[in-house]
Amino acid sequence: MRPAFSVVFLTTLIGAGQGLFLALLMVEWAARLSQAPVPAGFLAHGSIVAVLLCCGGLAASFFHLGRPGRAWRAAAMWRTSWLSREVIALPAFIALCMAYGIAHGRGAGIAVFLGAAALAACAALFVCTSMIYACIRFLQEWSSPFTFVNFVLMGCASGFTLAAALAAREASTLVTPFRYGAIILALAALASRAASLVRNARLVPRSTTQSAIGARSAQAVQKSRGFTGGSFNTREFFHGVSGRGLAGVLALFMLLAFVVPLAMLAMAGEDSRTLLALAFAVQYAGLLAERWYFLADARHPQNLYYQSVA
Amino acid sequence: MTQLALVIDLDVCVGCHACVTSCKEWNTSGEAGSLADLMPYGRDPSGTFFNRVQTFEVGQYPDTQTVHFPKSCLHCEDPPCVPVCPTGASYKRAEDGIVLVDYDKCIGCKYCAWACPYGARELDAKRKVMTKCTLCVDRIYDKSIPERERKPACVNACPTSARLFGDVHDPESEVSKAIRERGGYTLMPEWKTRPANHYLPRREAAPCDLPSPSSSSPR
């Protein structure tokens, strides 16, 4: 597939926003369980950052549409479409996360309930976003539980890294738990992503030129796709990058999304503001490359009909 | 329930592209507006087409056949493109089984095109909405057209009658009989989309006086 940058930014930005919110919620619940004071100011500021990230993702998604002015219609088919469900879950999460942050800012007791509600919206959003890809059964690279697991782990890893970077500025005692969380999540994401790469490398496409045209012979080759110019089919479903280029993107995201930020997180201390901010920036850049690779990786069966110009 | 569909006879298709041009001509002239046709005489022309004729070589040399293969929306009975549509712009008509796009509701998110294994949908570069074969829905019911011409434009244009049109749920229809008698099949059955359009395979070549390298004929 040809990766759409609107989708790359949408899924990585909201993933980081959701991860950041989960990091904040974890701190709040841990504080309540241990009867320690809740760092309300930090939770309020962090929630606003999470909201901004998700709003950025929402804004990016509009660039994906041919007719953005009609985007409001996309909430209609929530009974059947995961995309429609995402269109509902994303604003719901943004609103609840915003309310959660405001409640903490004002010291309102309702924050506990808003946190739980935002957690539900956050989980629903992870499911919706990943199912958009995982539910297309013939895009075999996407049609796997790995899609969901990877989206969750990578979103949470980047969110916890960002939480550590934010904590270094205003709640330094929280840096260490966030840092450990980010390291564990990044390692888990690395393991899960590596496993999905191995799985995808072993996939045998179920569709063949034979099944595409109904040929019984073992030999069937396209001689002409029927036109020499371009079309939607020749643009949308081919990424046009060489095998070496793809391997380069793979190496890049392995390095930037996992290896480098893991090293930075391991080295950072409670006051490493710059290092932790840099760790998030590098990891986010790596996740952009990862999401690009994830989208490009899917081989669409329609490409069997567009093998040869003439 | 009626399920209108095309049945395409690969034994007689000669790959002339008359169905391609007649499809574009009819569908670019309809009330929905013209179909994109960017730089038609330039170096890299690009445009929207609901129907294409492709060419495949099937079999092992020297026993090969050139198969001309027309491809358009298959109007699946279980269309994967419809449930994914977030706005309800993509739908399958209950009365005749045609899969259509409501161009006024489409937001151009392209998700339905991702969800079609056949590449039957094209986002029109100018209209910015998804477009696809309509089985000439604006023609087949038009009472102002003589009755025998109330068929999709591609069917009327085909010089070899390789394209049959009718109700595949009516066992007595011309298309159902052709599917039965000629072993009509569907594309990519592995995805269980149950396409309504069927293809009729090549017939076995009749023996002739010339020595033949092999008697078996690949489909």
Tell me if A223 is assigned to some domain.
no
Decide if A222 and B54 are in contact by the 8 Å CB cutoff: yes
In this predicted structure, what is the pLDDT of residue B157? 98
pLDDT band at residue B210 under the 50/70/90 scheme: low
Complex-level ipTM: 0.95
Q: Residue by residue, what is the 3-state secondary structure of chain B?
A: CCCEEEEEECCCCCCCCHHHHHHHHHHCCCCCCCCCEECCCCCCCEECCCEEEEEEEECCCCCCEEEEEEEECCCCCCCCCCCCCCCCCEEECCCCCCEEECCCCCCCCCHHHHCCCCCCCEECCCCCCEECCCCCHHHHCCCCCCHHHCCCHHHHHCCCCCEEEEECCCCCCHHHHHHHHHCCECCCHHHCCCCCCEEECCCCCCCCCCCCCCCCCCC
Over residues A274-292, the mean pLDDT reads 98
Residue A155 belongs to some domain of the structure: yes
**A303 to chain B nearest CA, in Å?**
8
Of B46, B121, B186, the CB nearest to A230: B46
| Strands of the sheet with B65-72, listed across from one edge | A220-224, B51-58, B65-72
Closest-approach residue (CA) in chain A for B217: A217
Mean pLDDT of A197-224: 96
Residue B214 has pLDDT above 80, yes or no: no
Quick check: A215 and B58 CB within 8 A? yes
Residues 6+ apart with CB under 8 A from A82: A128, A131, A132, A135, B84
Any idea what the CATH number is for the domain that residue A17 is in?
Answer: 1.20.1630.10
**Helix-strand-coil split of chain A, %, nearest 5:** 75, 0, 25
Decide if A267 is inside a domain: yes
The domains located in chain B, with CATH, are: 4-37+46-75+134-200 (3.30.70.20)
Q: Which residues of B touch A214 (CB under 8 A)?
A: 185-187, 199, 201, 219
Angle ∠(A20,A23,A29) on CA atoms, nearest 5 = 140
In a domain, A26, yes or no: yes
Asked, for residue A76, whether it belongs to a domain, the answer is yes
- The pLDDT score that the predictor gives to residue B218 is 53
pLDDT at B31: 83
B62 cis-preceded (ω within 30 degrees of 0): yes
Percent of chain A with pLDDT over 70: 100
Q: Is the pLDDT of residue B216 over 70?
A: no
Q: Nearest C-alpha of chain B: how many angstroms from A130?
A: 14
Interchain pair A231, B185: CB under 8 A: no
pLDDT at residue B219 tops 90: no
What is the rounded average pLDDT for all residues in chain A?
A: 97
Work out the minimum CA distance from B146 to partner chain A, whole angstroms.
Answer: 32
pLDDT for the residue B30: 86
Confidence label for B169 from pLDDT (cuts 50, 70 and 90): very high
Residue A77 in this model has a pLDDT that exceeds 70: yes
Q: What is the mean pLDDT of chain B?
A: 94
pLDDT of residue B207: 66
* CA dist A120 → A15, A66, A113, A127, A154 (Å): 15, 31, 11, 11, 19
Q: CB–CB of B119 and A137 under 8 A?
A: no
Q: Which residue of A has its CA nearest to B51?
A: A226
What's the DSSP call for residue A4?
P
**What pLDDT is attached to residue B32?**
86
Is B123 in Cβ contact with A305 (below 8 Å)?
no
- Over residues B87-109, the pLDDT tens digits come to 999 999 999 999 999 999 999 99
User: How confident is the model at residue A86, as a pLDDT?
Assistant: 98
- The whole-number pLDDT of residue B124 equals 97
Shortest distance, CA A218 to any CA of chain B (angstroms): 7
In tens, the pLDDT along B6-48 reads 999 999 999 999 999 999 999 999 888 899 999 999 999 999 9
CB A253 within 8 A of CB A287: yes
Shortest CA distance from A232: residue in chain B: B122
Minimal C-alpha gap between A289 and chain B (Å): 21
**Residue B9, phi then psi, degrees to nearest 5:** -90, 100
Q: Which two tokens stand for residue A240?
A: 């046009």
**Residue A115 lies inside a defined structural domain of this protein:** yes
What lies within 8 Å, CB to CB, of B146 at 6+ separation is none
Indicate the burial class of A227 (C-beta count within 10 angstroms; 0-12, 13-18, 19 or more).
Answer: buried
Q: Of A213, A216, A230, which has the smallest distance from its Cβ to B44's Cβ?
A: A230
Within A203-258, residue ranges assigned H as helices are 209-213, 232-236, 243-253
Does the structure show a pLDDT above 60 at A119?
yes
What are residue B51's DSSP bridge partners? B72
Distance from CA of A108 to the nearest CA of B (A): 37
Mutate to test the interface with B, among A141, A227, A238, A294 (most CBs of B within 10 A): A227
Q: Residue A53: pLDDT band by 50, 70, 90 thresholds?
A: very high
| Pick from A202, A77, A163, A114: nearest CA to B81 | A77
Cα–Cα dist A211/B189, whole Å: 7
Closest residue of A to B83, CA-based?
A80
Which residue in B has a C-alpha nearest to residue A220's C-alpha?
Answer: B58
Q: Which residue of A has its CA nearest to B109?
A: A65
- Are the Cβ atoms of A82 and B219 closer than 8 angstroms? no
Is residue A252 exposed (0-12), middle (13-18) or buried (19+ Cβ within 10 Å)?
A: middle
Which of chain B's residues have a Cβ under 8 Å away from the Cβ of A73? 86-89, 105, 107
**pLDDT recorded at residue A40:** 94
Mutate to test the interface with A, among B188, B191, B194 (most CBs of A within 10 A): B188
In the predicted model, is pLDDT for residue A310 greater than 90?
A: no
- Distance from the Cα of A23 to chain B's closest Cα (Å) equals 31
Q: Backbone dihedral region of B161: left (phi > 0), alpha (psi from -120 to 50 degrees) or beta?
A: left
Q: Which residues contact A119 (CB under 8 A, 6 or more apart)?
A: A22, A25
Q: Please answer yes or no on whether B52 and A70 come within 8 Å at the CB atom.
A: no
Confirm whether A156 is domain-assigned: yes
CA-CA distance, B51 to B153, in Å (whole number)? 11
Report CA dihedral (A308, B17, A228, B7) to the nearest 10 degrees.
-40
Nearest residue in chain B measured CA to CA from A79: B83
Is A305 in contact with B119 (Cβ distance < 8 A)? Answer: yes
Helix (H, G, I), strand (E, B) or coil at A231: coil
Mean pLDDT of A106-121: 94
Indicate the residue of A1, A214, A237 with minimum beta-carbon distance to B185. A214
Name the residue among A281, A295, A251, A305 with its Cα closest to residue A129: A295
pLDDT in tens, A170-180: 999 999 999 99
* Closest chain A residue to the Cα of B37, Cα to Cα: A231
Tell whether the model's pLDDT for residue B205 goes beyond 90. no
Report pLDDT for B211: 62
Which residue segment(s) compose the domain that A133 sits in?
Answer: 5-202+230-305
Q: Residue holding tokens 């019911």? A: B141
Q: For chain A, give me the number of helices (H) and strands (E)?
A: 11, 1
Determine the straight-line distance between the first and last CA of chain A, rounded to whole angstroms.
Answer: 22
How close, in Å, is residue A217 to chain B by CA atoms?
A: 5
Please state, in angstroms and rounded to a whole number, the distance separating the CA atoms of residues A138 and A81: 17
CB contact under 8 A, A236 and B123: yes
Residue B212 has pLDDT above 60, yes or no: no
| Domains of chain A: total | 1
| Best of A11, A138, A309 to mutate (most B CBs within 10 Å, chain B) | A138
Asked if residue A135 is part of any domain, the answer here is: yes
- Asked if B119 lies within 8 A of A220 by C-beta distance, the reply is no
Q: What is the pLDDT of residues B129-163, one digit of tens each?
A: 999 999 999 999 999 999 999 999 999 999 999 99
Mean pLDDT across B46-64: 95
